[in-house]
Amino acid sequence: LSAAELAAVRADFPLLGRTVRGGRPLVYLDSAATSQKPQVVLDTEVDFYEQRNAAVHRGAHQLAEEATIAFEDARASLAAFVGADPGEIVWTPGATSAINLVAYAMSNATLGRGGVEARRFALGAGDEIVVTEAEHHANLVPWQELCARTGATLRWIPVGDDGRLDLSDLDSIVTERTRVLAFGHVSNVTGAVAPVARLVAAARRVGALTVLDACQSVPHLPVDLHALGVDFAAFSGHKMLGPTGVGALYGRRELLEAMPPVTTGGSMVEVVTMEATTYAPPPQRFEAGTQMVAQAVGLGVAADYLGELGMGAVAAHEVLLAEELLRIGEIPGVRVIGPSNVGVGPGGLPDRLAVVSFVVDGVHAHDVGQVLDDRGIAVRVGHHCAQPLHRRFGIAATARASASVYTTTDEVGAFREALAGVRAFFSVN
Ligand code: PMP
């Protein structure tokens, strides 16, 4: 992004104009937790409630028709943005619920429709689910629970000292027993980009389903789900400039066709008698009850906003920010967890993004966060919902700085300068 484009982007985000801690300009470096929202997304939600609010898919009146069109147009926008067909996008409240939807469907096979693909959702003792040691709890705990419900066994791909997945034993971890391989596209701790093609190939070889946690990739990289070849993907609206309360599950069409429903009730049915019910085709089969229509419409506009900026340009801007953020490694006593420089990864895209977790020798992460906050700099501290990955590195907590399309190199500079003063502040030598 040129300086003028970046200034124009920033002007679109009202919250970035506010001050914190007694008049300091806000330096928001917590976009991996949640991104800020452009005015057009906020306006779209308000406009929906002011002009179009109605229940979708059912009403016989004009408002219902307009609301339905807005809702389905949003689905089409989001689908186009991630390289999917609209019928392959299921609205969910977020990534966590999207992953849980697949995991629960896999212990709900009695509601399935039969057929070869449907059998892929029936799991039992002797079956294995493979995750990685780098996962966010949202892509770990649902699989642990699925194992507990079905008798399947959880295995995982370890993380190497460099913070990247260690694939040296991949062939003995992903085997004929593997039914699901679930992994994050980009780590929300180290920023490392996973070798998707290699993992998808390993899963395909043994007929396992792939589930991609795309929470940290969709807002920052061009993502084409059909090209990546994954079976399922989950992501959240609120991390990609959209509203909270909405996200999506992508599923390959044949798989969604075969997948048993999880939440049952209104809107997801075809024929209901007192004895039995037939279910609607996907995506409606997975959208029981009244949906988060205003948020979905807002998310469609967020996808359009990013699409208009161009994800190539967004990714290039974020590479610059990642490089600037990684310069904190030059500060005495500061240690970055994970890859310490940006290289070229699959498809010519960067192999790590602008989310950088670090420790400061002799200073607790929470104290680091507080000193930065006093200067108006917002970072996240803790385990970032990835306790196993922190345990892998023998640390309980890190501080994490993460950028988005609206972040400037000046902001990263202010962060580095403040961080350089942290050890002196606590009189650590
Ligand atoms: N996976 C990753 C990698 C994440 O960063 C997050 C959000 N912290 C999630 C899953 C969960 O997303 P949500 O809380 O929006 O459901």
Q: Are 87 and 283 in contact (CB under 8 A)?
A: yes
Q: How far is the CA of 308 from the centre of ligand 1 (A)?
A: 25
Element (H, E) at 382: strand 380-382
Q: Give ranges for CATH 3.90.1150.10 in the chain.
A: 3-30+311-425
CA dihedral 57, 255, 231, 201 (to 10 degrees): -160
Q: What is the pLDDT of residue 407?
A: 98
Residues 6+ apart with CB under 8 A from 218: 81, 82, 235, 239, 240
pLDDT at position 429: 66
Cis peptide before 346 (omega within 30 of 0): no
Beta carbon of 31 within 6 Å of any ligand 1 atom: no
CA dihedral 165, 170, 173, 174 (to 10 degrees): 110
Nearest Cα residue to 218 out of 43, 390, 44, 405: 405
pTM for the whole thing? 0.97
Local structure of 229: helix, strand or coil: coil
> Six-digit token pair at 366?
């929470």
Q: Which of 269, 385, 395, 420 is catalytic?
A: 385
The two three-digit tokens of residue 23, written as one number: 């008049």
ipTM over 0.95? The verdict is: yes
Q: How many residues are present in the chain?
A: 429
- Separation of 195 CA from ligand 1 center, angstroms? 19
Residue 219 beta carbon below 6 angstroms from any ligand 1 atom:
no
221 lines ligand 1 (CB under 6 A): no
Per the annotation, the verdict on 215 as an active-site residue is no
Q: Does the beta carbon of 236 sit less than 6 angstroms from any atom of ligand 1?
A: yes
Gap between the Cα atoms of 346 and 380, Å rounded: 29
**Residues sharing a CB contact under 8 Å with residue 240, sequence separation 6 or more, in sequence order:** 35, 218, 219, 299, 302, 303, 306
Question: Closest ligand 1 atom, CA of 33?
Answer: 8
Residue at 142: amino acid letter:
P
Distance in angstroms (rounded) separating the CA atoms of residues 151 and 141: 15
Cα of 399 to ligand 1 centre, how many Å? 17
Using CA atoms, how far apart are residues 103 and 148, in angstroms rounded to an integer?
Answer: 11
Task: Write the CATH number of the domain with boundaries 44-306.
Answer: 3.40.640.10
Mean pLDDT by 10 residues, the chain (429 residues): 95 98 97 98 98 91 96 98 98 98 88 71 94 98 97 98 97 98 98 97 98 98 98 98 98 95 94 95 96 98 98 97 98 96 91 98 96 98 96 96 98 98 86
CB 190 within 8 A of CB 398: no
Ligand 1 atom closest to 98 (CA): 16
Sign of CA dihedral 159, 160, 164, 170: negative
Where helices occur in 152-252 by DSSP H, the ranges are 170-173, 196-205, 225-228
Residue 196 near residue 184 (C-beta atoms within 8 A):
no
Most ligand 1 atoms within 8 A of CB, residue of 102, 132, 136, 246 to mutate:
136
Tell which residue, 362, 237, 248, has the closest CA to residue 302: 237
The neighbour count for residue 376, using CB atoms within 10 Å, is 19
Per-residue model confidence (pLDDT) at position 155:
98
209's CB contacts (< 8 A; 6+ apart) are 120, 179, 180, 181, 203, 231, 232, 255
Which residues belong to CATH 3.40.640.10 in the chain?
44-306
CA dist 355 and 386 (Å) reads 14
Beta strands per DSSP E along 163-293: 178-184, 209-213, 232-236, 247-251, 269-272, 277-279
The answer to whether 99 and 211 have CB atoms below 8 angstroms apart is yes
- Helices and strands counted in the chain (H then E): 16, 17
> Residue 402: CB partners within 8 Å, gap ≥ 6?
29, 30, 31, 32, 33, 191, 354, 355, 356, 380
Residue 428: what pLDDT?
80
Domain 3-30+311-425, what architecture? Alpha-Beta Complex (3.90)
Strand ranges (E), 108-208: 128-132, 153-157, 178-184
Residue 119 pLDDT:
82
Q: Which residues contact 72 (CB under 8 A, 6 or more apart)?
A: 86
